[in-house]
Structure 1
Amino acid sequence: MFVAGFMRVRLGDVCEKGSSNLKQSDVNDKNGEYEIYGASGLIGKVDFFHQEKPYIAVVKDGAGIGRTMLLPEKTSVIGTMQYILPNEKVIPKYLYYVIRYMHLEKYFTGATIPHIYFKDYKREEFNLCDLSEQEKIVSTLSKIEKIITHRKQQLEKLDLLVKARFVEMFGEPILNEKGWNMVTIGDIVTEVKYGTSKPAVEGGKYPYLRMNNLTYDGHLDLTNLKMIDIPDSEIEKCIVHRGDVLFNRTNSIELVGKTCVFDKDEDMVIAGYIIRVRLKSIMLPIVLSYFMNTDALKKKLRNMAKGAVNQANINAQEFKSINIYLPPIELQTQFADFVKQVDKSRFITLKENKESEIL
Structure 2
Amino acid sequence: MAQLKDSVIIQPKSRIKAGEGLNKGEYKFFTSSNTQSKWLNQYQYDKPALIFGTGGMASVHFCDTPFSTSTDCIVMYAKGNLNLEYVYRYLESHMYILENGFKGVGLKHISKEYILSISIPEVDSYQQESLISSARKIDEIICARQNQLTKVDELVKSMFIQMFGDPKSNPNSYDIIPFNDCVEYMGDIGSNGANKVVVEHLDMKDEEDYALMVRFLNFTKNDFIDDVKYVSKEAYDFFKKSQIFGGELIICKIGSAGQNYVMPYLNRPVSLGLNQIMVRINSKTIMPYLYQYLNTDYGKQLIESCINGAVTKSITKTELKKIPVIVPPTELQEQFVTFVKQTDKAKLVIQQSLEKLETLKKSLMQKYFG
TM-score between both structures, scaled by the size of structure 1:
0.78
1:301 to 295, 300, 303: 303
SS of 1:312 mapped into structure 2: coil
The answer as to whether partners of 2:45 and 2:68 remain within 8 angstroms in 1 is yes
1:195 to 182, 189, 192: 189
1:133 to 127, 142, 158: 127
Residues 105 and 84 of structure 1, relative CA distance in 2, 3 Å threshold: farther
1:269 aligns with 2:271: yes
The answer as to whether partners of 1:70 and 1:96 remain within 8 angstroms in 2 is no
1:16 aligns with 2:7: yes
Q: Map 1:134-283 onto structure 2 (within 5 A).
A: 134-196=128-190, 197-198=198-199, 199=202, 200-203=204-207, 204-215=209-220, 221-222=223-224, 224-229=227-232, 230-231=234-235, 234-248=238-252, 250-252=253-255, 254-283=256-285
Identical positions, percent = 21
The aligned counterpart of 2:343 is 342
Residues 166 and 109 of structure 1, relative CA distance in 2, 3 Å threshold: same
The count of residues paired between Structure 1 and Structure 2 equals 331
Q: Map 1:98-109 onto structure 2 (within 5 A).
A: 98-103=90-95, 104-109=98-103
- Provide the rounded CA distance (Å) in 1 between the counterparts of 2:312 and 2:101: 26
Residues 231 and 17 of structure 1, relative CA distance in 2, 3 Å threshold: same
- Provide the rounded CA distance (Å) in 2 between the counterparts of 1:87 and 1:292: 49
The answer as to whether partners of 1:17 and 1:82 remain within 8 angstroms in 2 is no
Structure 1 residue 69, shift from structure 2 partner: 1.2
Larger CA Rg, structure 1 vs 2? 1
Residues 310 and 78 of structure 1, relative CA distance in 2, 3 Å threshold: closer
The aligned counterpart of 2:330 is 329
Structure 1 residue 300, shift from structure 2 partner: 1.4
The answer as to whether partners of 1:86 and 1:92 remain within 8 angstroms in 2 is no
SS of 1:242 mapped into structure 2: coil
Residues 24 and 324 of structure 1, relative CA distance in 2, 3 Å threshold: same
Residues 322 and 114 of structure 1, relative CA distance in 2, 3 Å threshold: same
The aligned counterpart of 1:70 is 63
Structure 1 residue 150, shift from structure 2 partner: 0.8
Amino acid at match of 1:241: F
The answer as to whether partners of 2:160 and 2:336 remain within 8 angstroms in 1 is yes
The answer as to whether partners of 2:189 and 2:242 remain within 8 angstroms in 1 is yes
- Provide the rounded CA distance (Å) in 1 between the counterparts of 2:337 and 2:229: 30
- Provide the rounded CA distance (Å) in 2 between the counterparts of 1:130 and 1:105: 27
In structure 1, the gaps of 5 or more residues are: 1-8, 29-33
- Provide the rounded CA distance (Å) in 1 between the counterparts of 2:28 and 2:135: 26
TM-score between both structures, scaled by the size of structure 2:
0.75
Structure 1 residue 170, shift from structure 2 partner: 1.6
The aligned counterpart of 1:61 is 54
The answer as to whether partners of 1:58 and 1:65 remain within 8 angstroms in 2 is no
The answer as to whether partners of 2:87 and 2:120 remain within 8 angstroms in 1 is no
SS of 1:24 mapped into structure 2: coil
SS of 2:331 mapped into structure 1: helix
Residues 188 and 108 of structure 1, relative CA distance in 2, 3 Å threshold: closer
Amino acid at match of 2:353: E
- Provide the rounded CA distance (Å) in 2 between the counterparts of 1:25 and 1:207: 36
Residues 118 and 149 of structure 1, relative CA distance in 2, 3 Å threshold: farther
Q: Map 1:36-47 onto structure 2 (within 5 A).
A: 38-39=30-31, 43=40, 45=42
The answer as to whether partners of 2:212 and 2:229 remain within 8 angstroms in 1 is yes
Residues 307 and 142 of structure 1, relative CA distance in 2, 3 Å threshold: closer
Structure 1 residue 144, shift from structure 2 partner: 0.9
Alignment RMSD (CA, Å): 3.5
Structure 1 residue 268, shift from structure 2 partner: 1.1
Query: Mean Cα displacement is larger for which, 329-338 or 179-188?
Result: 179-188
- Provide the rounded CA distance (Å) in 2 between the counterparts of 1:169 and 1:142: 41
Q: Deviations over 1:41-92 (max 9, x none)?
A: 764546x9675xx4x41315235543221325x878777323152654x644
Query: Mean Cα displacement is larger for which, 349-358 or 301-310?
Result: 301-310
The aligned counterpart of 1:94 is 86
- Provide the rounded CA distance (Å) in 2 between the counterparts of 1:226 and 1:259: 19
Amino acid at match of 1:240: I
The answer as to whether partners of 2:247 and 2:264 remain within 8 angstroms in 1 is yes
Structure 1 residue 331, shift from structure 2 partner: 1.5
Structure 1 residue 207, shift from structure 2 partner: 0.6
- Provide the rounded CA distance (Å) in 2 between the counterparts of 1:144 and 1:70: 17
- Provide the rounded CA distance (Å) in 2 between the counterparts of 1:309 and 1:25: 10
- Provide the rounded CA distance (Å) in 2 between the counterparts of 1:42 and 1:95: 24
- Provide the rounded CA distance (Å) in 2 between the counterparts of 1:50 and 1:312: 33
- Provide the rounded CA distance (Å) in 1 between the counterparts of 2:262 and 2:91: 31
